[in-house]
Amino acid sequence: MALKARHKRFILIGIGLGLIGLAAMLILNAFQSNMVFFYTPTQVAQGEVPKNTGFRIGGLVEEKSFKRGEDGLSVRFIITDTAKTVPVIYKGVLPDLFKEGKGVVAQGKLGEDGTFTASEVLAKHDENYMPPEAAEALKRAQTQSNTVVMPK
Amino acid sequence: MNNAWLTVLTRDLLQAYRRRSDIATTFFFFVIVSSLFPLGVGSDSAILSMIAPGVLWVAALLAGMISLSRLFATDFADGALEQMLLSPQPLALLVSAKILAHWLVCGLPVVLLAPIIGLQYALPNEAISTLVLSLLLGTPALSLIGAIGAALTLGARGSGLLVALLVLPLYIPVLIFGSLAVAASQHGMSPQAHLSLLAAISLLALVLAPLATAAALRISVE
Amino acid sequence: MSLKKIIFALGLIIALTAATLIFFTHGLNYIGVNVALLGLGAVLMRQSAYFSDNFYQHASPQSFYPTAGRMIPWFAWLAAVLVIYGLYISFAIAPTDFQQGEAYRIIFVHVPAAWMSMVIYLAMAFWAGVGLALNSKLSAMMAQALAPTGAIFTLLALVTGSLWGKPMWGTYWVWDARLTSELILLFLYLGFMALQASIDDPRKADRAGALLALVGAVNIPIIYFSVKWWNTLHQGSSINMGAAPKMAATMFEGMILMALAFWMYTIAVALIRVRCIILERERNAGWVKELSVKEIA
């Protein structure tokens, strides 16, 4: 039984659209579980990180957590995502933008005791650019009233 | 479902069977390339299992690519391709049969061989099954995208190298998600997100690539 | 009204409206952008006078050749003026950044170059698509003329980004989604040029290139949205539709001026290149022979 050419075309278009819909579903499904350049401290706490291998961990350097070791080279600090924290040990040169309260991405391994030994520390800066006076003014405004929020 | 489609498919498979040495070339290329790395890098199984996902995927990708230039070249030379262009059947449909034949001949053997190569690289069992699954989901996209490149370079100067230049950049997403899937399961993570992206790429390629390939063939053969 | 005139009129209206809107909402904060947009509008108006009422006549290489020749100096001068003014704003007027100090100033080259790398690809794919659909020679030549400039801007964005990354992030290169997809864009430009170069029949080369350009266009949204879809090391965009720019006004102004300058440069260079391509392809046409006789005499 031969189908008419027109019907055949309709069927093919239908199959094509169905497949595209399926692909879209799969993509959405994939974006729900996250695929990331770095993991957050919360994910570390929940054990959602690769085992037996290095990975990247990202977040903010916790305020007043930065300590320099006695040899002057190794440093310790804590990475936080404001919910959970991970202590980090690193030996090497830090990028210029590394600062307490700023973004950081560290590559390394998680030890048995939950300390992260970093082999490389990268600074992640945000997309805000302004003169220092403006940043100062914003900070002051923020401390005075909690209703004013830094532009994200 | 469609006689012409089946005819093209069986014809291509038969041709491949008659020229078994061609299939064997692809096959051995994959084996040799993936065996070269342990010899070059050293036999430390920790290092090997670390580089395995990337190396095996790159080897599979290259193996699929070297056979691409044959996809349309012989049909172009003996005039069969022109007959397909003239036939009342939708060209994209006939092209999809040719691509399926290419995948059965060049993609599937690599998928089936992967577990053995995976053992050479000291991959754990779950990682091997993920490797096979990722290759199964990803290699169809390689054949489909590659067909566009093969059709575009038909009759161009130095088409073998040109195909590599055109097709490899488009292969990168497949390579990334394929090797990430294997690496994820190697380290006790779920490879599900990467696998579903691979499947999505293959499905999209399945819909769009035959159409693009058909258009490219009409441009190249005129 | 011809199609070209309508397009020019629309461009003019958009430029003037944008200038007025910026003036009313931000006052004199963005005076430089205002001046640039007004200049652009004036040039467009001046150019539209060159187009007679027959669009198809102007879509022919023969009549486009002299038109392009008259347009080049306008865009070239505009580019030169904008670059000087933009660099002056960027390096002398724009304030030092609160966290990156002076080093952030590479943004004035990096971001416009990255924008252009994507915009030029889209323009190239657009012209290639038009050439494929309408079978018009000139659009395909435009696509071919845009490709090298696009590749150069992509390379510039990658190199400046790399130089910026070392002092700020602490590394020249990471394989995050933004950087990888921009690298793929460079490969796509190179593939497009290689394909065009290796097919001898120019019409066939045009159409094959067009198909490749359209297939590769899939990459553009991936580059643009990569910083939103994945958490990358690369920061998010400072400039978004419908939101205030996340940077000081003069910084924003410098960046926009540099982007406009790059844009004008692109148009000028593409027109120069398209003239060469026209001469090369139409070398056997009567008018080219007449032209060469005139040049010699």
Nearest CA in chain C to A56: C233
Q: What is the mean pLDDT of chain C?
A: 80
Nearest to A30 among B2, B193, B203 (CB): B193
Nearest to B169 among C184, C199, C208 (CB): C184
Q: What is the mean pLDDT of chain A?
A: 77
Look up tokens 């959405």; give the residue.
Answer: A28
Q: Write the pLDDT tens digit of every residue in C147-190.
A: 999 999 999 999 999 998 888 887 888 777 788 888 989 999 99
Q: How confident is the model at residue A47 (pLDDT cuts 50, 70, 90)?
A: confident
Q: Is A111 within a domain?
A: yes
Is C181 or C85 the better-scoring residue by pLDDT? C85
Which range is least confidently modeled, A26-30, A137-141, B64-68?
Answer: A137-141
Chain C stretch 100-159, residues whose beta carbon is closer than 8 A to a beta carbon of chain A: 100, 103-104, 107
Interface test with B, best of C179, C200, C212 (most B CBs within 10 A): C212
Q: Write the pLDDT tens digit of every residue in B192-221.
A: 888 998 999 999 999 999 999 999 999 888
C93 lies within 8 A of chain A by CB: no
- Cβ–Cβ of C170/A123 closer than 8 Å? yes
Interface test with B, best of C195, C201, C219, C230 (most B CBs within 10 A): C195
pLDDT at A54 over 60: yes
Collect all residues with Cβ–Cβ distance below 8 Å to C110 and sequence separation of at least 6: C157, C160, C161, C164
C174 lies within 8 A of chain B by CB: no
A47 lies within 8 A of chain C by CB: no
Nearest CA in chain A to B181: A35
Q: Write the pLDDT tens digit of every residue in C109-127.
A: 998 999 899 889 988 988 8
Q: Write the pLDDT tens digit of every residue in C163-173.
A: 988 888 878 88
Q: Which two tokens stand for residue C6?
A: 């309508």
Task: Please name the chains neighbouring B, where neighbouring means 3+ C-beta pairs under 8 angstroms.
Answer: A, C
Task: Please name the chains neighbouring C, where neighbouring means 3+ C-beta pairs under 8 angstroms.
Answer: A, B
Nearest CA in chain A to B183: A50
pLDDT at A1 over 50: no
A105 and A48 housed in the same domain:
yes
Is C233 or C189 the better-scoring residue by pLDDT? C189
ipTM attached to this prediction: 0.80
Nearest CA in chain B to A34: B193
A7 and A59 housed in the same domain:
no
- Cβ–Cβ of C248/A36 closer than 8 Å? no
Is A131 or B186 the better-scoring residue by pLDDT? B186
For residues C93-121, average pLDDT: 85
Is A31 or B130 the better-scoring residue by pLDDT? B130
Q: How far is CA C147 from CA B150, C61, C189, in A?
A: 22, 19, 6
Which range is least confidently modeled, A111-120, A126-135, B171-180?
Answer: A126-135
| Distance, CA of C274 to CA of C283 (rounded, Å) | 14
- Cβ–Cβ of A58/C231 closer than 8 Å? yes
pLDDT at B100 over 90: yes
pLDDT at B96 over 90: yes
Q: How confident is the model at residue C45 (pLDDT cuts 50, 70, 90)?
A: low
Tell me the angle at which helices B192-220 and B91-102 cross, rounded to the nearest 10 degrees: 130
Q: Is A59 within a domain?
A: yes
For residues C261-286, average pLDDT: 90
Percentage of residues of chain C with pLDDT beyond 90: 22
Task: Please name the chains neighbouring A, where neighbouring means 3+ C-beta pairs under 8 angstroms.
Answer: B, C
Q: How confident is the model at residue A148 (pLDDT cuts 50, 70, 90)?
A: very low
DSSP letter for each residue of chain C: --HHHHHHHHHHHHHHHHHHHHHHHHGGGGHHHHHHHHHHHHHHHHHHTT--S-HHHHTSHHHHHHHHHHHHHHHHHHHHHHHHHHHHIIIIISPPBTTTBGGGGGHHHHHHHHHHHHHHHHHHHHHHHHHHHH--HHHHHHHHHHHHHHHHHHHHHHHHHHHHHHHHTS-S----HHHHHHHHHHHHHHHHHHHHHH-SSHHHHHHHHHHHHHHHTTHHHHHHHHHHHS--SS---S--TTS--SB-HHHHHHHHHHHHHHHHHHHHHHHHHHHHHHHHHTTTSHHHHHHHHHHH-
Cα three-residue angle C60-C61-C67, rounded to 5 degrees: 95
Q: How confident is the model at residue C8 (pLDDT cuts 50, 70, 90)?
A: low
Q: What is the mean pLDDT of chain B?
A: 88
Q: How confident is the model at residue C9 (pLDDT cuts 50, 70, 90)?
A: low
For residues A40-58, average pLDDT: 80
Nearest to B162 among C180, C184, C195 (CB): C195
pLDDT of residue C286: 81
Q: How far is CA C17 from CA B166, C13, C28, C203, C257, in A?
A: 42, 6, 16, 40, 17
C187 contact residues in B (CB cutoff 8 A): 165, 168-169
Min distance B165 CA to chain C CA atoms (Å)? 6
3-class state of residue A149 by DSSP: coil
C191 contact residues in B (CB cutoff 8 A): 165-166, 169
Q: Write the pLDDT tens digit of every residue in C70-82.
A: 889 988 999 999 9
Nearest to A37 among C96, C171, C176 (CB): C176
A15 and A79 housed in the same domain:
no
Q: Write the pLDDT tens digit of every residue in B34-89.
A: 888 888 888 788 888 888 888 999 999 998 888 888 889 888 888 888 888 888 88
A85 and A11 housed in the same domain:
no
* Domain total of chain A: 2
- Cβ–Cβ of A37/C247 closer than 8 Å? no
Q: How confident is the model at residue C268 (pLDDT cuts 50, 70, 90)?
A: very high
Q: Which is nearest to A116 in space by CA: A63, A64, A59? A: A59
A102 and A120 housed in the same domain:
yes
Domain residues for the domain of B200 are 3-220
CATH number at residue A54: 2.40.50.140
pLDDT of residue C52: 45
pLDDT of residue C59: 67
Domain residues for the domain of A69 are 41-124
Nearest to A19 among B88, B189, B206 (CB): B206
B87 lies within 8 A of chain A by CB: no
Q: Is A137 within a domain?
A: no
For residues C250-268, average pLDDT: 89
- Cβ–Cβ of A27/B200 closer than 8 Å? yes
| Distance, CA of C233 to CA of A36 (rounded, Å) | 10
A5 lies within 8 A of chain B by CB: yes
Q: What is the pairing mode between strands A116-124 and A85-91?
A: parallel
Q: Which is nearest to A38 in space by CA: A97, A99, A110, A98? A: A110
Interface test with B, best of C121, C180, C206, C207 (most B CBs within 10 A): C207
pLDDT of residue B214: 93
pLDDT of residue C255: 87
pLDDT at C269 over 90: yes
Nearest to C168 among A31, A97, A131 (CB): A97
pLDDT of residue C33: 67
Q: Is A132 within a domain?
A: no
Chain B stretch 138-157, residues whose beta carbon is closer than 8 A to a beta carbon of chain C: 148, 152-153, 155-157
Q: Write the pLDDT tens digit of every residue in A118-134.
A: 888 888 777 777 777 77
- Cβ–Cβ of B153/C198 closer than 8 Å? yes
Q: How confident is the model at residue C243 (pLDDT cuts 50, 70, 90)?
A: low
Stated length of chain A: 152
C229 contact residues in A (CB cutoff 8 A): 31
pLDDT at C22 over 90: no
Q: Write the pLDDT tens digit of every residue in A88-101.
A: 888 888 877 787 88
Contact C177, C216 (CB under 8 A): no
For residues C3-25, average pLDDT: 65
